[in-house]
Amino acid sequence: MDLLTIGAFAKASRLSPKALRLYDELGLLPPARVDPVTGYRHYAPAQLERARLVAWLRRLGMPLARIQRVCALEPDQAAQEIRSFWAQAEADTAARRDLAAFLVDHLSRKDPAMTPVTAPLEIRYAALSDTGLVREHNQDTAYAGSRLLAVADGFGGAGAPASAAAVDALKHLETGGIPAGSLLNALEDAVEQAARAVRDIAGTEPSTGAPSELGSGPGPGAGTGAGAGTGAGTTLTAMLWTGSQLALVHIGDSRAYLLREGELFRITDDHTLVQSLVDEGRLTPEEAASSPQRSLLRRALGQGADGTPDLRLQEARPGDRYLLCSDGLSTVVPSDALHRVLSGTPEPERAVRALVGLANDSGGPDNVSCVVADVVG
């Protein structure tokens, strides 16, 4: 078998000799033969396919450790792993894009030659939480104030105090004058406080170890079902208002929606097992909606949980309407019904009552909480 020198192999694979030496040291792409006298590396032509795959994955920005995993998989499994990596990369890019847009806008407004032309905005809001028709206790917490909007969905034996503690940890943000440029930092610090408060509560619950997914919501895996061993925990979706900007923090499967110019947009992604399978192309959205694992959380605030939140900034416009809700609403009321109520019910107080009524009309299998806020001049 004719072997290729490292130079010829580098040219054919579009990898540099330096990269090939590194991949040899890592065991990712060892040469077919190393000359015992000169130490020169030689490669088999059959290794070109693997080398080209490594080169493509590096162009995607995939870390070497993950490339090693991909190269060890069968083609179908490798494709799923690449799909999963790219879905996360797109989510990270979207978050950075939002932050970049905010920074450009924020720094542009510091130009003394520019005069503000945007009129001050306010929000009108209402919050409502209901036990539903099946559960004995309400473990949700819903809150709406002049600066803070929040929904938390607790789970476990002390889910109610966990959700309340998470929201309480954010309430001090209502009283402080936070500059727009510090909005995300202030919210991130408050979420860390919320996480500590929830962990303190979760630490008082019996625990047998932390599983990879947590149970929350109706159906299999609800309450302490699949999440047994995590004690108490909670989701958290909240918005902090400054008058023209909204900072959003989100962890778990509670949701935030935006009604703008007649269209309804979901502006959060569920941190659930089935959503990750949808992102990877292994489930369709329709299959995910009926999956018995749809309530298994990948992220939440609680003992042993992955508590990494999504943080983003939202530019407010007059006429915008925001909905924050627990999964007790979103899992039983279809989006077209949410749209109908939000677009056809002017007053936030009436809107939250109508939304809770829809959830209970659909069987009320879970606690249901929602916050509706309107941006007005």
324-353: pLDDT as tens digits: 999 999 999 999 999 999 999 999 999 999
What pLDDT shows up at residue 294? Answer: 76
Matching residue, tokens 């990948």: 298
CA distances from 57 to 52, 65, 184, 342 (A): 9, 11, 33, 44
Comparing 269 with 293, the larger pLDDT belongs to: 269
25-38: pLDDT as tens digits: 888 999 999 989 88
**Highest-confidence range of 61-70, 122-131, 288-297, 311-320, by mean pLDDT?**
122-131
Mean pLDDT of the chain, nearest integer:
84
Q: Which of 135-139, 273-277, 317-321 has the lowest mean pLDDT?
A: 273-277
The pair of structure tokens assigned to 237 is 């979706």
CA distances from 178 to 18, 144, 175, 246, 375 (A): 50, 18, 9, 12, 19
Angstrom distance (rounded) from CA 320 to CA 104? 22
Q: Considering the entire predicted model, what is its pTM?
A: 0.69
Angstrom distance (rounded) from CA 347 to CA 218? 29
The pair of structure tokens assigned to 10 is 């580098």
